[in-house]
Structure 1
Amino acid sequence: MSNFALEIFDDESPKCQFYTVKLDGEELSETDKFFEKHYETDRLKPYVQQLSVFISDTIGTKRGAINDFFREERKAQAFPPPAKIEIEEVDFGEDFPLRLYCMRLSSSCVILFNGGEKTSWTAQDGETKVAFREANHYADKIQMALNNGDIKLCAKKREILDTTTEKPYTELF
């Protein structure tokens, strides 16, 4: 699997800062690839819009990255939240067809990965299979870097910093 870097995806939201991963040599981040691919499909466009509103408005502006908003997917997490979680701004329903994988580092910092259309009962099968595997790989590498002290969350728990320089982390994993 290719090397990747963490990049800021959205740092304008008051409650949560979002990062994404970008593969070495790629033009688009993994999250941008997800949104572009699924937004181009007319059948999935309204679901992409719902997910975007949930991330930017509900998490980013109103509530932050509340643990209940995340679906556990081994070492990674995913959106939308489990169906039992009610969110007044968005109704994901029982059969929401998309999964966007991510990693919640704190209530104010989330790393967004890629995802896919949920076409099977489990994330390890169907069209989410590759994105699920990659998300868990990214989450594992990021968690190792946190555990080893190579990176850390700043005091506000919004920014990922290089522990040596105290500046935003820009190295490849």
Structure 2
Amino acid sequence: MNIFALEVWDDEGKKCTFYTIRWEDAADNETDKFFNKYDAILELKLATQQLLSFVLDSVGDDHGAIDALFNRPENEVTGLPNTGKVKIQQLLFAYPNFPLRLYALRVNNRNDIVVLFNGGIKSAWTNQESKDIHFKWIEACRFAKRIEEALRDGEIIIDGDNRRMLSAAKDVEILL
């Protein structure tokens, strides 16, 4: 029995293709759930839009999933946005006390394929202490482990020329 599908979330960026997770029989994928939920909260609308711009513009179009922007390792996943002050060319990426965390996986540490999961409000110093994101972080780590296992076992293959992941049968539908 399949538990979740790995599907394209956005493939229009110049530098990076984004995937996401959809639970079996779910209407919305995990990344859309995150952005829809926090965009609807007035106090978090600006932060949500900044994070969406970071993902689509900075990572997707401008720089790709480079180490400098994926510098917040949290076990099997990376927390977005980046931590600290990061200067790339003339741009400074700094998100002090940023209220949201979105979890991501750079597939095989590539700069051009990323899986986005869900996330939440970062309300404490650690993920374990942040009530809103603790479960989402654990869930993202489990998804990441399963995806990495499928890559190692050949259930998922990478078409690097097209920034795509495919099932072993070379189908775009990936069920894990």
TM over 0.5: yes
Number of matched pairs:
170
What is the distance in 2 between the residues matched to 1:92 and 1:44? 17
What is the distance in 2 between the residues matched to 1:108 and 1:82? 20
Deviations 1:47-98 (A, max 9, x none): 1111111111111111111022111010111101111323565754320010
**AA aligned opposite 1:172:** L
TM-superposed deviation, 1:124: 2.1
SS at match of 2:12: coil
Which position in structure 1 is the counterpart of 2:85?
Answer: 84
Say yes or no: does 1:146 pair with 2:158. no
Q: Determine if contact 2:3/2:175 at 8 Å carries over to the other structure.
A: yes
Which structure has more strand as a fraction of its residues?
2
Which position in structure 2 is the counterpart of 1:166?
Answer: 170
Q: Determine if contact 2:7/2:174 at 8 Å carries over to the other structure.
A: no
Moved beyond 2 Å, runs of 4+: 84-93
Sequence identity (%): 38
TM-superposed deviation, 1:133: 0.4
Quickly say closer, same or farther: Cα 1:125–1:107, change in 2 above 3 A: same
Once the two structures are superposed, the pairs formed by residues 16-165 of structure 1 within 5 Å of their partners are 16-70=16-70, 71-86=72-87, 91-105=93-107, 106-126=110-130, 127-156=132-161, 158-163=163-168, 165=169
**TM value normalised by structure 2:** 0.90
What is the distance in 1 between the residues matched to 2:11 and 2:5? 17
- Structure 2: runs of 5+ lacking an equivalent: none
Q: Which moved more, 1:125-134 or 1:89-98?
A: 89-98
Q: Which moved more, 1:58-67 or 1:89-98?
A: 89-98
**TM value normalised by structure 1:** 0.92
What is the distance in 2 between the residues matched to 1:156 and 1:145? 20
What is the distance in 1 between the residues matched to 2:161 and 2:77? 22
Quickly say closer, same or farther: Cα 1:45–1:80, change in 2 above 3 A: same
